[in-house]
Amino acid sequence: MSPVFTAAALVPLLLKIVLGISILGTVSSTVFLLMTLLATTRYRRRAQTDQAVASATPVTALPPVTILKPLHGMEAELEQNLESFFQQDYPDYEIIFGARDAENPALQIAERVRVRFPNVKSSVVLSGPPTWPNAKVFSLQKMIAESTRSYFIISDSDVGVATDFLRNTIPPLLDPKVGLITCMYRGIPASDFWSSLEALGLSVEMCSGVMVADMLEGMRFALGPAMATRRDAIDAIGGIAATADYYSDDFELGNRIWTKGYNVLLSHHIVNNVLTPRSPMRTLGDQLRWMKSTRYSRPAGHLGTGLTFAMPFGLLGLVAGAGLGHFALGVSLFAVAFANRALQSMVVGWGIARDRRALTLCWLYPLRDLVGSFIWLGSYTSRRFYWRGETYRFGKGGRITPEHRSTESATANMR
């Protein structure tokens, strides 16, 4: 058999394999879409009930709340985001800001907002240089120590909320069996193209995955932008320090509280996650860091995520179909993948997250799906990642280690 004949026979075989992979991926991504539609219907039904319960909770039953707001540098719309927490329609709450030192420029913005709302109790805690791997958790530990209250909101500084945020997230915690409430979030883009793609991913991809996970196994984790919890639930896991060795401290907090027998609930209330303008490489780098985090926090689930993407399989089908002379089949596979993601964008991004861009730019979301698949592949490369001015490495179980500062494990003596 000549080498030429061997090569000529090999190419069609490879194309047939690629076509088979494309068909398999099209089926799996379609199944995921159907699961997403079911999860969306379920979420809508439960959200209506939860909204009614929250609205019916008398004001006199609402407990005092402490909002914990870690700060780290300047971000887009920071002042508006912080201001939204001072405008809550809630009887009794305070806000504690945390920063590493007084030179943090975000503190100047926080002080400006505090002056405008003297009727809302607020304070600042300076944590100093972190000695734990996760600097945010190091700050949260000191912030919690400053509060005498039992109900907490933990929220990132790039989050903006409606005036009824507390009114909707706190009532479920009145049930002692509930230990944590977590909120999904819609992406608010900066002005650049890559930010628009990232925001679509937050409004569509993130919400889809969370709702499906909640439908299949219930909430066993939390989402960092906005979480509500109680002191007894935090104490049950050994304090917030239990999450200090991890990048995904939000996932760990929710999972550990769930492990202790508390219910973790997905709120019907959705918040805004405001993105800051960044270079394309920085944007992709941040998304790669999040993907790596999921890889170590939920390894089996992260691996299965590869079968939920649609566009890479559609593209493979288009190439294989054209190469085998079945151009119509290839175009059909690509069209199915494209329609799959456009429909997901409209149903979830607009129907659930209420992100109007997910409706008007539903034709762009398939590109986000394709980019996301490459980032997912990239998550299986190195263990190193860059975060908040420092370089870290992922270790066993998702623990992180800074490469350029010494730290002590906050969980070394915990079971």
DSSP per residue over 226-262, as a string? EEEEEHHHHHHTTSGGGGTTBS-HHHHHHHHHHHTT-
Report the C-alpha gap between 330 and 317 in whole angstroms.
5
pLDDT at 242: 96
- The stretch 257-273 carries a mean pLDDT of 98
Residue 59: alpha-carbon gap to chain centroid:
31
3-state secondary structure of 272: strand
With beta carbons less than 8 A apart as the criterion, state whether 188 and 202 touch. Answer: no
Question: 307-327 as b/e, with b when 16 or more CB fall inside 10 Å?
Answer: ebbbbbbbbbbbbbbebbebe
Q: Quick one: tokens of 329? A: 């089949």
Q: What is the mean pLDDT of residues 361-377?
A: 97
Tell me if 157 is assigned to some domain.
Answer: yes
Dihedral Cα 377, 379, 384, 388, nearest 10 deg: 120
Average pLDDT of the residues in 222-235:
97
**In which band, very low, low, confident or very high, does the pLDDT at 1 lie, cut at 50, 70 and 90?**
very low
Q: What is the pLDDT of residues 39-89, one digit of tens each?
A: 999 999 999 999 999 999 999 999 999 999 999 889 999 999 999 999 999
Residue 12: what pLDDT? 85
- Between 409 and 352, the higher pLDDT residue: 352
In which element (H, E) is residue 111 found?
helix 105-116
Q: Which of 138-152, 154-168, 243-257, 378-392 has the lowest mean pLDDT?
A: 378-392
Tally: H helices and E strands in the chain:
15, 13
Amino acid type, 105: P
Whether the Cβ atoms of residue 26 and residue 310 lie closer than 8 Å to each other = yes
Local structure of 264: helix, strand or coil: strand
- The predicted structure's pLDDT at residue 246: 94
* Confidence label for 411 from pLDDT (cuts 50, 70 and 90): low
CA atoms within 13 A of residue 101's CA, in its CB half-sphere: 4
Can you tell me which residue has the tokens 């550990």? 256
pTM higher than 0.85 for the full model?
Answer: yes
pLDDT bucket at 234, cuts 50 / 70 / 90: very high
Query: Would you say the C-alpha torsion 365, 369, 374, 379 has a positive or negative sign?
Result: positive
Q: Are 235 and 120 in contact (CB under 8 A)?
A: no
Rounded CA separation 379/306 (Å): 11
Residue 379, in any domain of the structure: no
**To which residue do tokens 């190469």 refer?**
323
Closest CA to 178 of 264, 49, 57, 269: 264
Mean pLDDT of 24-42: 98
pLDDT band at 407 (very low <50, low <70, confident <90, very high): confident
Which ranges in 275-405 belong to alpha helices (H)? 280-297, 299-305, 311-323, 327-344, 356-360, 365-378
**Residue 399 placed within a domain:** no
Does the structure show a pLDDT above 90 at 362?
yes
Domain membership of residue 228 (yes or no) is yes
pLDDT single digits (tens) 241-256: 999 999 999 999 999 9
Domain assignment present for 314? no
Dihedral, CA of residue 107, residue 108, residue 110 and residue 115, to nearest 10: 140
Instruction: Give Rg (Cα) of the chain.
Output: 23
Phi, psi of 169 (to 5 degrees): -95, -25
For residue 403, what pLDDT is reported? Answer: 84
Question: Looking at the predicted structure, is the pLDDT value of residue 33 above 80?
Answer: yes
d(CA 339, CA 362): 9
Asked if 14 contacts 326 with a C-beta cutoff of 8 angstroms, the reply is: no
pLDDT at 59: 96
How far apart, in whole angstroms, are the C-alpha atoms of residue 80 and residue 321? Answer: 51
Q: What is the pLDDT of residues 94-133, one digit of tens each?
A: 999 999 999 999 999 999 999 999 999 999 999 999 999 9
Query: What's the mean per-residue pLDDT of the chain?
Result: 93
CATH code (residue 194): 3.90.550.10
Check residue 415 and give its pLDDT.
43
| Pairing between β-strand 185-188 and β-strand 271-274 as defined by DSSP bridges | parallel
Dist. CA 292–CA 302, nearest whole Å? 9
Name which of 311, 315, 33 is nearest 197 in CA terms: 311
| Confidence check: pLDDT of 4 > 80 | no
Q: Tell whether the model's pLDDT for residue 211 goes beyond 60.
A: yes
Q: Is the pLDDT of residue 390 over 80?
A: yes
In a domain, 321, yes or no: no
- The total number of structural domains in the chain stands at 1
Assigned domain for 354 exists: no
Provide mean pLDDT across the span 16-22.
95
More confident residue, 10 or 228: 228
Mean pLDDT within 219-231: 97
Kindly tell me the sign of the dihedral angle through the C-alpha atoms of 185, 269, 34, 307: positive
Residue 66 lies in a domain: yes
- Round to the nearest angstrom and report the end-to-end CA distance of the chain: 64
CA distances from 375 to 211, 287, 315, 345, 391 (A): 22, 7, 16, 19, 19
Range of the domain at 199: 57-291
Which string of DSSP letters, residue by residue, matches 125-178? Answer: EE--S--SS-HHHHHHHHHHHT---SEEEEE-TTEE--TTHHHHHSGGGGSTTE
Percent over 90 (pLDDT), the chain: 84
How far apart are alpha carbons 298 and 336 in whole angstroms? 29
